[in-house]
Structures are given as C-alpha cells and as structure tokens.
Amino acid sequence: MSSQLNLYEHLADELGALIAGRIFAPGDRLPSIRHLAQQKRLSISTVMQALRLLEDRGLIDAKPQAGFYVRHRARTLSCITSSHCPKEPTYVGINNLLMRVLQANDSLGVVQLGSAWPPDEILPVKRIQRAVNTVTRRNPDLLTRVSCADMNEPNFVRQITRRAIDWGRLDADEIVVTSSCTEAISLCVRAVAKPGDTIAIESPTYFVLLQLIESLGMKALEIPTDPKTGPSIDALELAMQQGLVQACLLVPNANNPLGSIMPEANKKRLAALLSQHDIPLVEDDIYGDLCFTNERPWPVKAYDTTGNVLLCSSFSKAATPAARVGYVVAGKYAQQVAFMKTVSSGATGHFFQAVLADFIGSSSYDNQIRKMRRVLAQRIAQMSDAVSKSFPSECSVAEPQGGFVLWIQLPEQVDALALHRPAIEQRIAFMPGPMFSASGKFGNYMRLNCGNAWSVEIEKAVQTLGTLVHRFSDRPSGRIALN
Ligand SMILES: Cc1ncc(COP(=O)(O)O)c(C=O)c1O
C-alpha cells in the first residue's frame, strides 16, 4: 500500500506513538503549539491540524486557555499469546437465549447500547433520497423488473469493481449481488460446507455468524483472537494441518465485537495457508470502509491467488441498512453461490442496486465514510472514557480500530448475563459476552454500541451500568447456563 501521509498526519502519528508508549501519560500536558512548531519546523496551522486529528482519534482533549492533555482511558485488554491452541469443535446452541436477549433489548424506551446499527442522524438520508429520485426518473422500468437469468445490476457491479481497484482486479463473473451481507455469508457457508462440518471462527465473534452455524447443523472451532491483531494464524495453521476445519468464517477488518484489524502480513500468510490446504474463507468485510487507519485496510481477498476467499459485504453500515443490498466476490465458488442465491431468494431488487450504485459511484460516498470514521472514533473514545470513570478499575476495554462497538472485560466474578436483567429493568440495553461465543465463554464481558451521538441520557445509562457492575463485583458469581 502506498503511504503518502501529510505533514500533519506524520506529526499526529508521532505524538500518538509517544502517547501509546506512555511517554506522555494520561493527564499529561502536551508541549505547546508554538513549541511543537519550532521543534518540528512546522507551521502553527500544521501543528493545529495534527492536534485536531489526535482529538478526533480520542487521544487528547483541548482545555480552553490551558493546552492539550492526554485523555484518561480505561485499562486496555491485554494481548493473547499466539501459541494458544484451538480447543475442540462444538455444535452451537445459542439461538434461544440470544432471541430472548434481543427481544428484551428491543423493548420500548430502552437506551440502545445493544444493537450495532448506525443511527439515522449519521446516515446520508438526503443523498439516498436524491438517488431514489434519480433512478425512478431515469430507469422507471427498474421498479417492476425481475430477472432470474440476470441477477446483477451492471452499474452496481461496476462500482463494486471500481472501489476494489486499489487492491485487486475483480472479475464481474465472480460477483453475486445479495440481499444484505448476512445473506451473502449464509449463501457462501452453505456453498462451501455441509452439516457436520467444522467452521473456524474468531473468539469472540458476531453472534449472527454463530446462529448461522447453528442453523446449518455445523460445528464451530473458536480460534483465540487478539484484541488488536485478530485471530491467531498459528492456531489456524495448526487446525488446518490437523484436518480439523472445512472452512473459515472471519471478520478480519474491524471484527465485531473487538474492532481488531488483522495485520497485512497475517492476511498474506492466511491466504497462503488457505491455498496450501485448499480451504475456503468466507470473509466478512462489512466494516472495511469504517476503519480508523490512515488507509483503508485490504481484505484477505487481496492476497488470494487461488479463488479460495469469498469476500462478503454490504452498505448497511455506511449508507443505509434499509436497502438490503450486499454482495459476494465468490472466487472459485461463484457458480455454487449463484445457484444458492437463485434457489434462496432469486435476484435482489435491481432498483435498490441502482440506487446504491448512484451513491457509491459518487464522491458523496467517500465524504460519508470519511465523516463516519471521524465521528465514530470520537464516540468510541467518549464511551471508553465514560466506562473508565463509572466502572470498577479492574475493568479493561478493547481499543477498536474501526466500527462502532466497544468490548469490555468486567471483573472475573461479574456475570454479564445475570446483569442484563436489572439493566433492562433500568431501561438500558447491552449485549452480554456469552452471545459472542459458541461455548459460553466471555461470561464476564459485555459489548456496548457507541454509534449514537453522546447525550446526557447515554452518560447516565453508562453510570447506571457502572453502578450495577460495582454491585455485581461484590457478589459471589452464579453464572446462568446457556440454552
Ligand atoms: C460483522 C457483521 N457482519 C454483518 C452484519 C449485517 O450486515 P447486513 O445488514 O448487511 O446483513 C453485521 C451487523 O451488525 C455485522 O456486525
């Protein structure tokens, strides 16, 4: 990847590294703007831009008349060692309990720290309305057309291909347009594996992936996953060598719930392992455009030379979840995936494919994702700060590098599932940790949605959660059994 950073981005990265290394610790004042400008031989406005960027990244705060200070943060989750070996594959039985949690989270008047949907206020509603009007005027036939033979809208496929140009040349024949990322993943898993097969997943992972494995009568193998760098490639290699897995299902860019990004070297190594063992990877890249890195991280698909990677995504997070348009770049499994799509739901509506093509093919989409990255990084930092103020000091938080959720480790004795009930009684929704594991792990973890604009209501809800966590920390643990 090319790396043509601006001067201010260089300075922000340099100061960010000093903060990460605790040369400037939480609460420390940074050198003054004038001092930095003189020392680095930069203009005052360049230094100001760098400091604003660090503020956006949630690393520092401006105090009027006093300067810039390093933010107080909650403890961060410690890294795993890559020598962890995967445990046994397990059948998944999470659906019943998950549905109860989701139903409770959905009740009226609840502060929504549960589901990870982007709030309307941050979505490009007006721009989508304009695209709807344009397509209605120019192509009214799309309001009525359905075709079984030609399922993809050509302009939508063209825009997907154009957006991937930085990292690869996609063949239009590899692409199957779907009704959401969820459908793309479901078609792919059904195309590459059968009941009884084992699927390697991150641990923790997005609960719908677990529900999917459960619904298909497959087994999950939970791969130890680092909060920063994602799944252990050593563990994946071991599992492949031992013939334990028939397919992988991973979210390498801004995993939900960790927000981890797999380093490029790991992606390259994983792609080589998949080729060597002829194992398919269903890659969920839905948060790829919403990573906080200077450059958009590449998918594993960028390093795939044998067609073993099936890249799935949609525009539900950065454009509108209501369009229900996603896609898969299916590699050597394209025919099987297209067949699955035909028998599952037929073509995805061409009208909304054309609407999304109008949007993502314009500069408005780039502006939209730039805005979302900045705003979401800030909201995550605000949530992380609030947690550090209200939760017990033994708690640790992940440092998400994209998306809009925060994964929190609570004190060992806190049962997040038991804590969910009093939280709902106090009208606060969150996702308990065990919903992200096939084997009931993460009993003392929770995931908070940080997508909503910061408000007094959210601040109070986090304080109340903190009080509950303190209360549960003083109790002997009594975990609720899964299913
Ligand atoms: C990792 C991940 N994949 C997929 C989805 C769902 O995407 P879609 O609405 O396009 O089905 C989500 C939504 O939360 C998600 O977090």
| Pocket flag, ligand 1, residue 42 (CB < 6 Å) | no
- Residues 347 and 248: their CA atoms lie apart, in Å, by 26
Q: Are residues 168 and 275 in the same domain?
A: yes
| Pocket flag, ligand 1, residue 210 (CB < 6 Å) | no
Phi, psi of 246 (to 5 degrees): -100, -20
Mutate to test the pocket of ligand 1, among 286, 344, 376, 404 (most ligand atoms within 8 A of CB): 286
At position 14, the amino acid (one-letter code) is: E
Q: Are residues 142 and 273 in the same domain?
A: yes
Q: Does a structural domain hold residue 481?
A: no
Report which of residues 393 and 269 the model is more confident about.
269
| Pocket flag, ligand 1, residue 386 (CB < 6 Å) | no
Centre a 10 Å sphere on the Cβ of residue 379 and count the other Cβ atoms it contains: 22
DSSP class of residue 6? -
Burial of 24-46, coded b for 16+ CB within 10 Å and e otherwise, reads beeeeebbebeebbeebebeeeb
CATH of residue 318's domain is 3.40.640.10
Residue 482 has a pLDDT of 40
Among 309, 342, 364, identify where a domain stops: 364
Q: What is the mean pLDDT of residues 428-450?
A: 96
Q: Does a structural domain hold residue 455?
A: yes
* pLDDT of residue 383 exceeding 50: yes
CATH of residue 19's domain is 1.10.10.10
Q: Does a structural domain hold residue 425?
A: yes
| Pocket flag, ligand 1, residue 11 (CB < 6 Å) | no
The string of DSSP letters for 222-272 reads EEEEETTTEE-HHHHHHHHHTT--SEEEE--BS-TTT--B--HHHHHHHHH
CA angle 384, 389, 391 (to 5 degrees): 85
| Pocket flag, ligand 1, residue 449 (CB < 6 Å) | no
- Residues 326 and 274: their CA atoms lie apart, in Å, by 24
Phi, psi of 199 (to 5 degrees): -115, 125
Ligand 1 atom 9: residue of nearest CA = 316
Q: Does a structural domain hold residue 212?
A: yes
- Residues 307 and 174: their CA atoms lie apart, in Å, by 9
Q: Are residues 116 and 201 in the same domain?
A: no
| Pocket flag, ligand 1, residue 314 (CB < 6 Å) | yes
Rounded-to-10 torsion of CA 57, 58, 63, 68:
-60
Query: CA gyration radius for the chain?
Result: 23
263-299 pLDDT per residue, tens:
999 999 999 999 999 999 999 999 999 999 888 999 9
Q: Does a structural domain hold residue 208?
A: yes
* pLDDT of residue 127 exceeding 80: yes
Q: Are residues 351 and 312 in the same domain?
A: yes
- Residues 185 and 212: their CA atoms lie apart, in Å, by 9
Among 309, 343, 364, identify where a domain stops: 364
Looking at the DSSP bridge assignments, the partners of residue 445 are 409
DSSP class of residue 29? B
Among 317, 349, 364, identify where a domain stops: 364
The encoded tokens of residue 381 equal 């930092």
Q: Are residues 22 and 47 in the same domain?
A: yes
Q: Does a structural domain hold residue 109?
A: yes
Q: Are residues 310 and 242 in the same domain?
A: yes
* Closest ligand 1 atom number to CA of residue 255: 1
Q: Which residues constitute the domain of residue 239?
A: 124-364
The encoded tokens of residue 408 equal 């929190």
- Residues 38 and 381: their CA atoms lie apart, in Å, by 30
Residue 443 has a pLDDT of 95
Q: Are residues 49 and 185 in the same domain?
A: no
Q: Does a structural domain hold residue 480?
A: no
Mutate to test the pocket of ligand 1, among 182, 251, 291 (most ligand atoms within 8 A of CB): 182
* pLDDT of residue 79 exceeding 90: no
Residue 86 has a pLDDT of 57
Report which of residues 251 and 115 the model is more confident about.
251
Q: What is the pTM of this model?
A: 0.85
Q: Give distance in angstroms: CA of 409 to centre of ligand 1.
A: 23
Mutate to test the pocket of ligand 1, among 98, 123, 181, 325 (most ligand atoms within 8 A of CB): 181
pLDDT band at 47 (very low <50, low <70, confident <90, very high): very high
| Pocket flag, ligand 1, residue 307 (CB < 6 Å) | no
Which residue is it, tokens 């950073």? 5
Residue 226 has a pLDDT of 94
Identity of the highest mean pLDDT range in 116-120, 147-151, 212-216: 212-216
Centre a 10 Å sphere on the Cβ of residue 455 and count the other Cβ atoms it contains: 10
- Residues 166 and 4: their CA atoms lie apart, in Å, by 14
pLDDT band at 70 (very low <50, low <70, confident <90, very high): confident
pLDDT band at 26 (very low <50, low <70, confident <90, very high): confident
Q: What is the mean pLDDT of residues 338-354?
A: 93
pLDDT band at 387 (very low <50, low <70, confident <90, very high): very high
304-320 pLDDT per residue, tens:
999 999 999 999 999 99
% of the chain beyond a pLDDT of 90: 78
Number of domains in the chain: 3
Note whether 82 and 234 are within 8 A (CB). Answer: yes
Select from 104, 419, 82, 87 the least CA-distant residue to 230: 82
* Closest ligand 1 atom number to CA of residue 284: 3
Q: Are residues 387 and 294 in the same domain?
A: no
Q: Are residues 156 and 178 in the same domain?
A: yes
H or E element in which residue 368 lies: helix 363-390
Residue 483 has a pLDDT of 35
Centre a 10 Å sphere on the Cβ of residue 371 and count the other Cβ atoms it contains: 13
| Pocket flag, ligand 1, residue 251 (CB < 6 Å) | yes
Report which of residues 277 and 10 the model is more confident about.
277
Q: What is the mean pLDDT of the chain?
A: 91
Q: Are residues 277 and 215 in the same domain?
A: yes
Q: Does a structural domain hold residue 478?
A: no
Assign 121 to helix, strand or coil: helix
Q: Are residues 345 and 382 in the same domain?
A: no
Note whether 310 and 113 are within 8 A (CB). Answer: no
154-181 pLDDT per residue, tens:
999 999 999 999 999 999 999 999 999 9
Q: Give distance in angstroms: CA of 442 to centre of ligand 1.
A: 21
Residue 401 has a pLDDT of 93
- Residues 278 and 240: their CA atoms lie apart, in Å, by 10
